[in-house]
C-alpha cells in the first residue's frame, strides 16, 4: 500500500496510527502542504486526489481511497485481525460518534486551508488563534463529559479504537497551537495512555521521514 501523507497533517497522522495498529506495511510519499504554495495543488497529485488533500491511500489492488474515516473503515473491514473498532454494536456506534466530533466538527474548521483563508481575509493572528481554540474547546468539552463514564483506559474498548486515534491526533494539533487543555483530564489521560504504545509513538509527526 502507498500512503500519501504529510508529517504535520492531523488526518494523515490518524492513518499512520491505524496502519501501525493493524501491523500493515506501507510506503509513504510526502505531499508537502506548504512548500511552493502546497504540493497538494500540483496537477500530478490532483490526478490522485481531486480534492487536493491528504491522506490518500492506494491499496495493493490499485484502489484509491481518500478521507481518513473512509480509509480507517476500509482498513477495519479489509484487515479485521487487529480491530480498531469495538466488538459490541452499540460501542462501535459510540466510537464512531466520538471520532466524528473530531473529524466532522473540530478539524474541518481548524485545518490548514481554513486558517489560510482567514489570514487571507486579513484576520489578525490573535483572532485566528481564538477561532482555532473555540472549536477545540467546543468539541473537547463534549468529549470530556462522555469520557468521564468510560470503563477502560481507552474511550470505547479495552484496546485503542478509531475514537482514540482521532483524539490523540487532535490533541497533538491543539498542543501545537498552545490551546490550554487542563479542563480535559480524562482526554489527557487517554492521550497519555495511548502514547505509551509504540504504534502511536512511531506515527507521531516529528518521527516522520519528511519532518522538518
pLDDT value at position 79? 98
Q: Do 160 and 68 belong to one domain? A: no
* Residues 109, 10: Cα–Cα separation, whole Å: 13
- Compute the average pLDDT of residues 20-38: 96
Q: Do 184 and 107 belong to one domain? A: yes
**Domain termination site, one of 82, 108, 140:** 82
Q: Do 106 and 76 belong to one domain? A: no
Domain assignment present for residue 176? The answer is yes
pLDDT class for 132, splitting at 50, 70, 90? very high
Domain assignment present for residue 194? The answer is yes
pLDDT of residue 170 exceeding 90: yes
pLDDT value at position 212? 85
pLDDT class for 94, splitting at 50, 70, 90? very high
* Residues 7, 28: Cα–Cα separation, whole Å: 10
- Compute the average pLDDT of residues 79-95: 97
Pairing of strands 2-5, 27-30: parallel
* Residues 123, 24: Cα–Cα separation, whole Å: 42
pLDDT class for 72, splitting at 50, 70, 90? very high
Predicted model pTM: 0.96
- Compute the average pLDDT of residues 100-120: 96
Sheet of 2-5, strand order: 27-30, 2-5, 56-58, 64-66
Q: Do 104 and 70 belong to one domain? A: no
- Compute the average pLDDT of residues 161-172: 98
Q: How many domains does the chain have?
A: 2
Q: Do 6 and 98 belong to one domain? A: no
Q: Which residues pair with 56 in a beta bridge?
A: 4, 66
CATH of the domain at 138: 1.20.1050.10
* Residues 190, 197: Cα–Cα separation, whole Å: 12
Domain that holds residue 57: 2-82
* Residues 144, 188: Cα–Cα separation, whole Å: 9
pLDDT of residue 186 exceeding 90: yes
**Domain termination site, one of 41, 65, 82:** 82
Amino acid at each position: 500500500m502507498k500512503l500519501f501523507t504529510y508529517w504535520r497533517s492531523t488526518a494523515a497522522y490518524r492513518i499512520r496510527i491505524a496502519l501501525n495498529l493493524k501491523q500493515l506495511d506501507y510506503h509513504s510519499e510526502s505531499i508537502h502542504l506548504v512548500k511552493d504554495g502546497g504540493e497538494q495543488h500540483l496537477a500530478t497529485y490532483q490526478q490522485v486526489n481531486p480534492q487536493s488533500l491528504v491522506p490518500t491511500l492506494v491499496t495493493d489492488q490499485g484502489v484509491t481511497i481518500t478521507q481518513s474515516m473512509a480509509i480507517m473503515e476500509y482498513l477495519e473491514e479489509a484487515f479485521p485481525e487487529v480491530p480498531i473498532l469495538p466488538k459490541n454494536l452499540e460501542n462501535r456506534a459510540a466510537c464512531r460518534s466520538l471520532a466524528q466530533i473530531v473529524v466532522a466538527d473540530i478539524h474541518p474548521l481548524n485545518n490548514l486551508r481554513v486558517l489560510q483563508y482567514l489570514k487571507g481575509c486579513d484576520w489578525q493572528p490573535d483572532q485566528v488563534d481564538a477561532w482555532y481554540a473555540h472549536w477545540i474547546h467546543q468539541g473537547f468539552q463534549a468529549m470530556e463529559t462522555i469520557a468521564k463514564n468510560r470503563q477502560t483506559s481507552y474511550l470505547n474498548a479495552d484496546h485503542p479504537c478509531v475514537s482514540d486515534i482521532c483524539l490523540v491526533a487532535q490533541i497533538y494539533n491543539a498542543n501545537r497551537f498552545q490551546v490550554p487543555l487542563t479542563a480535559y483530564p480524562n482526554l489527557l489521560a487517554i492521550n497519555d495512555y495511548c502514547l505509551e504504545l509504540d504504534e502511536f509513538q512511531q506515527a507521531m509527526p516529528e518521527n516522520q521521514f519528511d519532518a522538518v
